[in-house]
Structure formats: structure tokens, C-alpha cells
Structure 1
Amino acid sequence: MKYGAVALVSLFVGVGIGSSDGSADNTGKATVGVKAAPSPTVTVTETATAADPKPAPTVTKTVTAKPKKTHKSGPAASFSGEGEYLVGEDIKAGTYKTAGPDDEWGCYWERAKDASGEFGSIIANNNLDGPGRVTLNSGEYFKTNRCQEWKLVG
């Protein structure tokens, strides 16, 4: 701050000296042909220093991610052509179709009243050499082997 005051005082003194055009002196006589010397320019540079330099604090902002809305989980509307599924729990009830066998051995499907694997539990079954459809009811078991994906169509 003291440098600013010194600069301001020096500026006023310089302006006072520079404004004198030499037309009058202390005796009241006019001076002819005398030009005033250029006034000095004062430049003050002040560097700011902190008393206790410390790095700026790190600010961490915690954001809670909101999960995207998903469809209500439940039975699938399409499924692999290999496995055993409980209709109404693993897969939806309805009519499904497949493009047919996954290999040269053909596609086998089976509707069953339980998961016992007994011959008496089979409601219906078929071996497909091409595309096929089957209607599945809730509570039944559906077994499929060597088939392409089954997709709900109705």
C-alpha cells in the first residue's frame, strides 16, 4: 500500500513540474525560448505474496447414480432351444415357434405335467425336421433339445 502512495505523490509532483511552461519565474520576468525538460515517469511494480502459501483445498463432490428404469422381471418371451423350463415362472405361457433343428439330428420338444422325467408325465412331444410351433400353458414343464431359439408369437 505504501508503494501506491509514493507513486501517487510522485505523479502529482511530476505533473506540477511538467505543467510549468517557463513563461514566468520567481522575479516575475518572462523567459523566452526555454523549454521545460520532460518529466520523469514513475512505474511501481508490486508482487503480492501470501504470508503462508498453501495449495487450494481439493473439493470432492459425491453424486449418487440413479438406476435406469428396467422392465419388470418375469418370465422370458424367448429362450434357448436347449433346456427345461417351467411355464409361467421361467418362460411366459403362450404359443412359441422355432426355426427348427440346431443340427442334423433334429429338434425335440416335450410338454410335461411335472419335472419327474417319467414317461407318464409327458403331455405332448415331437421331433422336428423343420420349423415348428407349440402352445404352452402355465404350470407345465417344457423341455427342448437341439432346437434353435424359441420365440413367443401369440
Structure 2
Amino acid sequence: MKYGAVALVSLFVGVGIGNSDGSADSGKGAPDAKAAPQPTVTVTRTAEAGDPEPAPTVTKTVTAKPKKTQESGPADSFSGEGEYVVGEDIKAGTYKTAGPDGGFGCYWERAKNASGEFDAIIANNNLQGPGRVTLNQGEYFKTNRCQEWKRVG
């Protein structure tokens, strides 16, 4: 029995030494620094016979109809603020406005050129209400504080 007890104690000591990595803090459950990376698991689902199929892509070609565009060239209506060349910016003809765009009156001026000189003025007026003016090809028309001008003839 004496030899059996020594054998049993030797067995436990041997198992303890075999499990030890030889470091002073063994047995504390420290993770192994040389652990291999864990595998990545990929799950692929195969479509079953009962699964609906994706809808097909349908491409429809539509021919767009062009919208009517305003004729190029001089306009037959314009803002009540600015200077215009008759025949280039606006069409020649008779125009009317509803009057001032505010309380200070509507000023218009027909001129021979764009010099701004007093002797270039053909005619001018300060309107407090509606008004009209006839513009000829090549003239300059200046308007301030007026509502929109529209061609009427």
C-alpha cells in the first residue's frame, strides 16, 4: 500500500507538471498568446422551388414631344425696369403698361442713342396711371418703376 500511495501521489504530481507551461503564473487561466485565428462561417441559402423569382426589368422608350418655345428675337413684352434697343431687345410697335410699380410714378423715355445726353431724348413721360407709347426700329427705350410693358399693336 505504501508503494500504491507513492504511485498515486507521483501520478498527480506528474499530471500537474504536464499541464504547467513552466511560468510562475500558470494556473491563473491566462489566454495563450499564440492562439490560432478562429474560422469565419459563411452561410449560403439556395433558392428553393417555391421562392418567387425576381421581376424582370422592363425598359420603355418614350419619344418626348418638344414644347413650343418662344420665338427667338425681340420680345413683345418686357419688364418695367431697364433699357432696351428696339428691334434687338424688343419689337417695334405700340406698348402699354398698367402704370407705376409703386407710389413714385412710372418714367419712360424714347431716345436716339444710349448716350444719356439730354439732346438724345425723343420723348419721355412720368405716368401716374396706365399709359402707352409707340416705339420705332433703332430707338432706345428706357423705363423705370413701371409695371410690365405689353405690345398691343
- Shorter-chain TM-score bucket reads 0.5 to 0.7
- Give how far 1:71 is off: 3.8
TM-score, L = length of structure 1: 0.57
Structure 1 runs of 4+ with >3 Å offset: 58-69
Residue identity over aligned pairs, in percent, reads: 87
- CA deviation vs aligned residue, 1:116-154 (integer Å, no higher than 9, x gap): 111110000000011101000010000000011111011
State the distance in 2 between where 1:133 and 1:59 align: 58
SS at match of 2:150: strand
SS at match of 2:119: helix
Equivalent position of 1:23 in the other structure: none
SS class of match (1:151): strand
Alignment-mate amino acid for residue 131 of structure 2: G
SS state at 1:120 partner = helix
How many residue pairs end up in the alignment? Answer: 104
Please tell me whether residue 77 in structure 1 is matched to residue 76 in structure 2: yes
Q: Which residue of 2 aligns with 1:116?
A: 115
Counterpart amino acid of 1:78? S
RMSD: 2.3
- The residue matched to 1:103 in structure 2 has which SS? coil
**1:72 shift after superposition:** 2.6
- TM-score where L is the length of structure 2: 0.57
- State the distance in 2 between where 1:69 and 1:104 align: 38
Structure 2 letter corresponding to 1:79: F
Q: 2:54 corresponds to which residue?
A: none
Deviation of residue 82 (structure 1)? Answer: 0.4
Q: Which residue of the partner structure matches residue 22 of structure 1?
A: none
- TM-superposition CA deviations, 1:80-111 (whole Å, max 9, x none): 10000000110110000011111111000000
Match of 2:147 in 1: 148
| Counterpart-to-counterpart distance in 1, 2:115 and 2:137 | 17
